[in-house]
A and B are shown apart, each in its own frame.
Chain A
Amino acid sequence: MWKKAILRPAAVLLLFAVPLLIKSNYLLSILIVIGLYTIIVQGLGILMGYAGQVSFGHAAFFGLGGYTVAILTTRFHWPTVLALPAAALLPGVIAAIIGRPTLKLRELYLALATLGFGILVHIAFTEGKELTGGPSGITGIPYLSIGGLTFDSDIKFFYLVWITLFLILAGINNLVRSRVGRALRAISESEHAAENAGIDTAKLKLQAFIFSALLAGLAGGLYAFYVTFISPSPFGFHASVQFVLMAVIGGLGTFWGPLLGAAVVVTLGEFLRWAVPLVIPGAGGEYQIIFFGLILVLLMIFRPEGLGALGKCLKLSPEKMPGTGIPSKDI
Chain B
Amino acid sequence: MLRIQALDVYHGYVQAIRGLSLHAKEGELLAILGANGAGKSTLLETLAGLHRPAKGDILLNGKSIAGKPPEYLVRQGISLVPERREIFHSLSVWDNLLLGAFHRYRHAKQEIHSDAREILEIFPALKGREREMAGTLSGGLQQMLAIGRGLMARPKLLLLDEPSVGLAPMVVREIMATLARLKNTGVTIILVEQNTRSALRVADSVLIMERGRITFSGSSGEIMADSTVQQAYLGRRVRPAMAL
Contacts and interface: CB of A to CB of B under 8 A. Distances in A.
Contact of A197 (B69, B74, B94): B74
A127 interface: no
B33 interface: no
The 8 lowest CB-CB distance pairs between A and B, nearest first, are A198-B74, A193-B86, A325-B90, A200-B71, A198-B103, A195-B70, A328-B95, A179-B105
A330 interface: yes
Contacts of B74: 197-198
B88 A328 contact: no
Nearest to B130: A331
Given A197-B149, A199-B99, A331 B71 contact: no
Contacts of A270: none
A150 interface: no
Contacts of A189: 88-91
Interface in B39-95: 48, 50, 69-71, 73-75, 79-80, 82, 86-92, 94-95
Nearest to A177: B95
Interface stretch (A15-23, A180-188, A236-244, A274-282): A180-188
Nearest to A330: B98
Contact of A328 (B50, B94, B109): B94
B11 interface: no
Interface of B: 48, 50, 69-71, 73-75, 79-80, 82, 86-92, 94-95, 98-100, 102-103, 105-106, 109, 113, 130-131, 133, 149, 153
A323 B70 CA distance: 28
A24 interface: no
A156 interface: no
Given A195-B71, A196-B82, 19 more contacts: A179-B98, A183-B102, A185-B88, A185-B90, A186-B88, A186-B99, A190-B88, A192-B86, A193-B82, A193-B87, A194-B88, A195-B70, A196-B48, A198-B71, A199-B71, A199-B103, A327-B131, A328-B98, A331-B92
Contacts of A327: 92, 131
A153 interface: no
Given A328-B94, A331-B130, A331-B131, A197 B89 contact: no
Contacts of A194: 88, 99
Nearest to B132: A324
B180 to A, nearest CB: 24
Nearest to B116: A330
Contacts of B91: 182, 185-186, 189, 325
Contacts of A328: 92, 94-95, 98
B145 to A, nearest CB: 12
Nearest to B82: A196
A331 B94 contact: yes
26 contacts: A179-B98, A182-B95, A182-B98, A182-B99, A183-B102, A186-B99, A189-B89, A189-B90, A192-B50, A193-B86, A193-B87, A194-B88, A194-B99, A195-B70, A195-B71, A196-B86, A197-B74, A197-B99, A197-B100, A198-B71, A198-B74, A324-B133, A325-B133, A328-B92, A328-B94, A331-B130
Nearest to B113: A330
B142 to A, nearest CB: 12
A203 to B, nearest CB: 8
Contact of B102 (A179, A190, A324, A331): A179
A192 B153 CA distance: 17
A48 to B, nearest CB: 16
A197 B102 contact: yes
B106 to A, nearest CB: 7
Nearest to A321: B133
Interface in A275-331: 323-325, 327-328, 330-331
A196 B70 contact: yes
A193 B106 contact: no
Nearest to B81: A196
A303 B203 CA distance: 52
A324 B136 CA distance: 10
Nearest to A178: B105
A199 B74 CA distance: 9
A221 B121 CA distance: 53
Contacts of B106: 179
A325 B91 CA distance: 6
A194 B88 CA distance: 9
A190 B90 CA distance: 11
A328 B92 CA distance: 8
A186 to B, nearest CB: 5
A200 B74 CA distance: 10
Contacts of B73: 198
Contacts of B133: 323-325
Contacts of B131: 327, 331
Contacts of A331: 92, 94, 130-131
B235 to A, nearest CB: 31
